Amino acid sequence: MLRRRTKPLVAAKPNGPLWIAEDLFRDDRALLVDDDAVAPLSGENHLSTALVDYLLQRSLQPTDLQDTTLVGSANSLHFFHQVNAKIATAPSDPNVAKSVENIRQRCSHYKDNKFEFLSPFCIDHHFVAVKIVFDLRSPDIVHEVSVYDSLIKGGRRNNSVHRNSPPAKYLRSFQQFIANFCLFGNPKCEVLLANPDHIVEKAVYRSCPMQQNGFDCGSLSMQCLPSLTSNNDNDIDAAPDVPDKGPPIELDVVPLHPRLGADPQPEPTRHRDNYFTTQFIEVPKEFEDMSKVDLAIDDYEESSGVRLVIARSRGAGSRLCFCASHTGCCFRAKFGRERGTLPIIYKQELFNPFHCGEPVPPKTKGRAPKKRVRDKLEESVDHVIEVKDSTPVTKDVMKAAANIQSVRASYNQAYRAIGRAVANGPREKQQASFGLIMLYLKHFQLRNEDSTVKAESDADQRLRRLGICPGIMRRSLQHVRPVLSLDGAHLLSKWKGTLYIASVQTACSNIYPVSFAIMKDGEDAEGWKWFLELLVEAIPLLKMQHPDNRCRFCYFTVISDRQKGLIQALQQVFPDNHHCFCSVHIARNVEKEVGKKVAKHVHALSATFSKRESDELMAKINAISARGKKYLEGISANQWRSTAGVDDPTLPPRFGIVTTNMSESVNSMVGDARDGSWLECTNDIVRKMMNRICSLREENYGREGVVDKVAEILENKWKNCSNFQVREVVKGGS
């Protein structure tokens, strides 16, 4: 381990022994980098393999390294590539074959002990490091693989190392080296060669203990700076100040570089984007939708002269932009929604505010800033439809956009805008539809007298929320599995809103919605309470006592993904109903806390009824992450694990339902309805609810006994158990 010392280290002499080798070996070598090579590396150009190796050589002493600690220089990856390449040519070249044999003899002792390998590199203006703890005597070979990246903080949602990332390529080369040279002739060699990603699969990102911000880890500089600044005249402007006093700080890493060959030229100069910082960071902004983000980016491009293009877009909720005005620029800006919220925000933690690289060569006719005019043309199309009796044409829209909005639209942009308007209808008509909602609800109530319809307006008589539960749904709940799935979703139209929906599953595993509500506000406790009260009023069966007297809860169980405010609302409206949590959403939270390796076991742990299998899964989780096991044990087993019903017979059965897939399926069923106005959304959902229940009634009409799907499941289980032998065991005997 490396420690920050309370006094400067004594620098190694240029001709003295080198304790940081270019590879895994501890040879006596001359310094790889001299003072003259490091002197120009100052300011923003300080990140290079030359500086990394220089700091390592100047600061570490023999006492810093234990016998089982191996430290590789910034060019270790190049060494691995070179020696791994020898294996392919060894049979044909006698000299290479002899060299391979010499390396294997020198590496043979690595299989006799447990070693810790540390290696640093730097890429794209930031530090990365790897730490590998391996024991070639143990069956698992690798005990720990940690990756430290100054731009990737530990504890994020996904801590796994991507297979195509630079650290993964480094780990893959290291594994091949271990297999070919350290384990040659050992059966474990075949295990590593058969699975090239054996070490990569175990690798996780971790937080650097010295990380101060999102752009420069600095742990290497802070470790080595006392020796460098106290014994040399070199001025490294970018290195932070290190106090001489204070307790030792454990560092698991020394920062790293995947360069093939010699040291590269100094990195290009970077500069901060002050325009973007002023417009988006200093004063945080919220945007209703991506069209408002496009307007803000237009203003930014006009003021800064920088052109942004979309690198990745996920519908209307997330967008990643990068700079197209510089070659190989590192600038990144991401916009998206926080989970469970409506407004779109700028995500500062994923932002790189620097530009680098040479300006993009100008085109022959110049490079005009791209104008995002799609959403600006809607008003022009509506104006043309209003003042013109015939169907609008492209030229009319182009003229209206220029006169009304001062927007210069191309022919194709205007043509596509007309197509969208014809498909969706003018916005004025959609807006006028809000005045028809109350009339629609009134007529629906008259035609369906046993249905429950509720609506609520604010002080200005503007519709705030509405809810519908058709009467046929109330009667159908007598023949379903008594598990009610609740979920919320955002409406995607101009007028926004939140859709609350309740779903059930029949005995034939068919899914359908039973009730829904639309509300102006976001998903919160007040909205959930209003919707649950609608369900109680419409479906008294939900609060019916369980027919099994042993059960201490009502007949229906509620399952959800623990949305905002839902737990509190359930405690107020359904205090006597059992509430369960979705295992998929628990797995996502676990992945965010401790990584994907633990999360992949959560669903199986939730679904199994076997206590033996449950204990085995918990043991696997504990072996991967003790913190992950503690997190899962912090969630009440009664609310997500099927084995809880075996331990406590007073819990109502869930019929194997451990996820909110019912709600996800219904959300997909009504997905198109979320794009229209409130009236269109309401009418579309009601129509789909009626079509769904009628089709299920026709499909299952006249069936008796065990339904086909359930019979097939039982038959498969019978076949799997047909070879079992049943033996009676006498208590106390044989």
Q: 612-638: string of b/e by CB count within 10 Å (b at 16+)?
A: eebeebbebbbebbeebbebbeeeebe
How large is the C-alpha radius of gyration of the chain? 33
Predicted local confidence at residue 74, as pLDDT: 64
Q: Which of 72, 82, 52 is nearest to 264 (CA)?
A: 52
Give me the pLDDT at residue 305, please.
Answer: 82
Q: Please check the confidence at residue 22 and state whether its pLDDT lies above 80.
A: no
Close Cβ partners of 253 (under 8 Å, ≥ 6 residues apart)? 118, 120, 129, 130, 131, 146, 148, 208, 219
Residue 268 in this model has a pLDDT that exceeds 60: no
**Residue 518: what pLDDT?**
93
118: which 2 tokens?
Answer: 């540390």
Q: Which residue has the higher pLDDT, 512 or 138?
A: 512
The overall pTM is greater than 0.85: no
Give the pLDDT confidence score for residue 269 in this predicted structure: 66
**pLDDT for residue 127:** 67
Triad 336, 338, 340: Cα angle to 5°: 125
| Beta bridge partners of residue 2, listed in sequence order | 251
Specify whether the CB–CB gap between 148 and 101 falls below 8 A: no
Helix, strand counts (H, E) of the chain: 26, 21
pLDDT band at 58 (very low <50, low <70, confident <90, very high): low
The mean-pLDDT minimum among 112-116, 537-541, 651-655 falls in: 112-116
pLDDT of residue 184: 75
* HEC sequence for 497-548: CEEEEEEEEECCCCEEEEEEEEECCCCCHHHHHHHHHHHHHHCHHHHCECCC
Question: Which has the higher per-residue pLDDT, 302 or 215?
Answer: 302
In the sheet with 463-469, reading across from the earlier edge strand, the strands are 452-457, 463-469, 511-519, 498-506, 480-490, 557-560, 579-581
- Do 224 and 33 touch, CB atoms closer than 8 A? no
Nearest Cα to Cα of residue 55 among 23, 80, 20: 20
Q: What is the pLDDT of residue 504?
A: 93
89 vs 437: which has the higher pLDDT: 437
How far is CA 429 from each of CA 389, 418, 422, 435, 441, rounded to the nearest angstrom? Answer: 16, 15, 12, 10, 19
**Bridge-partner residues for 481, per DSSP?**
505
Helices 525-538, 566-573: inter-axial angle, 10-degree rounding: 40
Q: Give the mean model confidence (pLDDT) for residues 485-503.
A: 87
Least confident range from 5-14, 513-522, 574-583: namely: 5-14
Q: Which pLDDT band, with edges at 50, 70 and 90, does 38 fall under? A: low
Q: Indicate if the pLDDT at residue 23 is higher than 50.
A: no
CA 335/CA 318 separation, integer angstroms: 6
CA pair distance 141, 161, nearest whole angstrom: 19
Predicted confidence (pLDDT) per residue in 587-644, tens digit: 988 888 888 888 999 999 999 888 899 999 999 999 888 888 999 998 888 888 888 8
Greater model confidence, 510 or 264:
510
Q: How confident is the model at residue 40 (pLDDT cuts 50, 70, 90)?
A: low
Highest mean pLDDT among 208-217, 253-262, 579-588: 579-588
Tokens 């810790």, located at residue: 116
| Interatomic CA distance for residues 673 and 687, integer angstroms | 10
The amino acid at 641: R
The confidence score (pLDDT) of residue 473 equals 85
Q: What mean pLDDT do residues 56-85 have?
A: 65
349: pLDDT strictly greater than 90: no
pLDDT exceeds 90 at position 561: no
Distance linking the first and last C-alpha atoms of the chain: 58
Q: Where is average pLDDT lowest: 52-56, 129-133, 483-487?
A: 52-56
For 213, residues 6+ apart whose C-beta sits below 8 A from its C-beta are none
Q: pLDDT above 90 covers what percent of the chain?
A: 11
126/369: higher pLDDT: 126
